[in-house]
Amino acid sequence: MKLEDISYIGNKTRYILRENNIWTPYDLVMNFPKSYENYNIINFNEAKHNQVITIIGEILKIEHFKAKVHVIKLLIKVEEFQVSALIFNQQFLLKSLKLNDEVLIKGKYNLYSNEISVSSISKNLNKKEITPIYGIEGVTDYMISKAIEDIFTNNKIKIYETFPNDVMRRFNIINRYDAIKNLHFPKSITDLNKSIKRLKYEEAIELQLRLQKSLLNRTKREPIDYDISKVKDFIESLSFELTEDQKEVVNEIYRDFKKDYQTKRLIQGDVGSGKTIVAIIAMLGVLTAGKQAVLMVPTEILANQQYETIKKLLSNYNVSLLTSKVKNKTQILNDLETGKIDVLVGTHSVASENVLFNDLGLIIIDEQHKFGVELRESLFKKSESANLIYLTATPIPRTLGIAMFGDLATSEIKSRPKFQKPVITKHFEENKLDLIIEEIKNTVSKEEHVFVVVPAISSELKDYNIENTADILRPIFKEKLFILHGDISSEDRNKIIEDFSNSIGGVLLATSMIEVGIDLKSATLMVVLAAENFGLSQLHQLRGRVGRGEKESKFYTLSNKEDVERLKILEKVDSGFKLSEYDLKLRGPGEFLGLKQSGILKTKYLDFSTDYDILLEARKLSIEIINNQELLKNRDYYYINRILNEG
């Protein structure tokens, strides 16, 4: 059947629909409404910052007061949540609003203050119809609704079920036909939410099946035969005791070594939590089994630092550094291939085609989201049996973690070494810059080190950048001012960091490139200018550059934008895991991970900030299906198996 066979679709409408990639009646039915008039189709706990939402709730409390304008403040119970509703200059409503009234409220939601700025309020809960909005320019929503009504009324298309009955019962979801029809003709919010729930599960299960497909062809190998006595001796020789989290993650890694197949693990650790020592203990295990290890890090600064640390701690083994600046590259490559090198540390250079290992047992990638997929894959191909460990100091919200890394086992290091004190965090308005400069002078006079971070090297769009901030700081700090940014060669960058670190008190003016890789215990103050340009997780990463020693440390943000509420979250929250949840809600998954173009994130109904339970259930189901040969042959699982069999 063609579009011209559908009522309400003439030549002009057909042309417009095709311009919007709608070619058949089925395409039209699968073009779901973009939104619904007067109703927000998500649950309250899914509300985003500054989103216009509509809620129905019970009035628990009524206050009113006069500020610049007259304000009525209501405390509203919405499902199991509570939210404040602010009504401006409508004091006449006090006569009609009573405690325990159920009201329909529409307005803009403020995530930080948990308040709705009310644009309309009514006790008539049914006064608004749920009207689909398709947003196709040149075709009215009414015309599209009538055309789709014709399709359903006269059975002009076939909508096939993609889930077996047992899956629908397991997750208490409606069939696909009803779900799609309800989206176009919702009789109630309840019906609409049932349809959305069904489509969330469709997206989650397809996503998890694609992630878990690798389990079908999991590489078998001999367990890694490590020497546990040498590992225990090493841990006991350390000058500090591992935290409980570190011990647990080490145990998880060594349980992976005992398996007869290649394993992949994501280790999330807040800034300063001690992921590096865990990685070194993991390396030692494969080294005692006569195998090699490789560590890939995102910057040359970090590569040099990690190389020095590993070489010192694993002094009985041959540790080499490979970056674009290394001189004896040919010798390193020969020694690596013949097995003379035990541990290779480096930047993306370690993934180059000409880098060959003798017997690679462990691949570790630090801050993996800073590398492209192709680069990571090229490193994986160095060995078909090596275990893989990702390290990240950017805690990934559990919903996003299971969506992006559902085929990985996950470990978390949340506790920090006992000697580390919390970093005092404060937000200032830009007019307090003189006060901050006094604090910087005071810190330098105590022979301590200061970071000043700006969002750009030079840009008219940024209030502060390297150039104009250097003009402010250079007359004050003279030879004690060091400048670092991406346009400086890596060789010169290393020299600048070395000179700064060796200075008797100094100021390093830099871009955010210092968010990883500088470990300076005498750094006790960081100031971030134009902080509105940074995400919360990135600011938290930057904060991790101070407070690494035993001295009291401070982290200050300055902004002249209306961004105070967001930045003040940093004053109250020092957990990167909690901040990552805020960041995900505020910025969305693509921007959060720097993966705006990632196809895996393009879901219409699945919400990566709230749908953890759905993703988790989908993951369990996917693993069950893959591990069950009978289900893989079951005709009821035809569509699910088709996903697994796609290339």
pLDDT digits 0-9 by tens, 492-515: 887 888 889 889 999 999 988 776
183: CB partners within 8 A, 6+ apart: 32, 33, 132, 192, 195, 196, 199
Residue with tokens 């070395």: 498
* Rounded Cα distance, 542 and 558, in Å: 14
Mean pLDDT of 24-44: 79
Q: Across the strands, what pairs with 261?
A: 220
* pLDDT of amino acid 462: 66
Pairing of strands 70-78, 52-66: antiparallel
pTM: 0.66
Superfamily grouping for domain 44-122? Nucleic acid-binding proteins (2.40.50.140)
Superfamily grouping for domain 424-573? P-loop containing nucleotide triphosphate hydrolases (3.40.50.300)
* pLDDT of amino acid 273: 80
Q: Across the strands, what pairs with 411?
A: 267
Alpha helices in 223-363 (DSSP H): 228-237, 244-257, 275-288, 300-313, 329-338
Residue 440: closest CA among 527, 528, 567, 500: 527
Helix 564-572 vs helix 536-543: angle between axes, to the nearest 10 degrees?
Answer: 40
* pLDDT of amino acid 534: 87
* pLDDT of amino acid 597: 39
* pLDDT of amino acid 440: 95
Helix, coil or strand: residue 344: strand
For the chain, the structural domain boundaries read 44-122, 159-217+612-647, 228-413, 424-573
pLDDT at 638 over 80: yes
Residue 69: closest CA among 39, 100, 90: 90
Q: What is the DSSP track for 514-579?
A: GGSS---TTEEEEEESSGGGS-HHHHHHHHTTS--SSS--EEEEEESSS-HHHHHHHHH---HHHH
pLDDT at 127 over 50: yes
Mean pLDDT of 326-352: 92
Mean pLDDT of 94-106: 90
* pLDDT of amino acid 211: 80
Beta carbons of 382 and 356 less than 8 angstroms apart: yes
pLDDT, one tens digit per residue, over 8-30 is 888 898 889 999 999 999 999 99
* pLDDT of amino acid 607: 81
Do 228-413 and 424-573 come out as alike in CATH topology? yes
Give whichever of 396-400, 403-407, 436-440, 483-487 has the largest mean pLDDT: 436-440
Mean pLDDT of 476-491: 87
Mean pLDDT of 415-431: 79
In degrees, to the nearest 5, what angle opens at C-alpha 381 toward C-alphas 396 and 228?
Answer: 70
pLDDT, one tens digit per residue, over 596-636 is 434 455 678 888 777 888 988 998 998 888 888 788 788 88
CB contact burial 364-383 (16+ within 10 A = b; e otherwise): bbbbbbbbeeebbebbeebb
Determine if residue 89 is left, alpha or beta; phi over 0 gives left, psi from -120 to 50 gives alpha, anything else beta. left
* Rounded Cα distance, 69 and 89, in Å: 6
CB contact burial 141-159 (16+ within 10 A = b; e otherwise): bebbbebbebbbeeebbeb
pLDDT band at 40 (very low <50, low <70, confident <90, very high): low
pLDDT band at 378 (very low <50, low <70, confident <90, very high): confident
Mean pLDDT of 557-582: 81
pLDDT band at 418 (very low <50, low <70, confident <90, very high): low
Helices (H) and strands (E) counted in the chain, each on its own, are: 22, 20
182: CB partners within 8 A, 6+ apart: 174, 191, 192, 194, 195
pLDDT, one tens digit per residue, over 540-563 is 888 988 888 788 899 999 987 777
| Domain 228-413 fold | Rossmann fold (3.40.50)
Q: Is the dihedral of CA 349, 355, 357, 360 positive or negative?
A: positive
Residue 119: closest CA among 90, 146, 162: 90
* pLDDT of amino acid 99: 94
In degrees, to the nearest 5, what angle opens at C-alpha 393 toward C-alphas 392 and 397?
Answer: 80
Helix, coil or strand: residue 82: strand
pLDDT, one tens digit per residue, over 163-215 is 999 999 999 999 999 999 999 999 888 889 999 999 999 999 988 888 887 77
Other Cβ atoms closer than 10 A to 589: 23
Top pLDDT among 430 and 118 is at 118
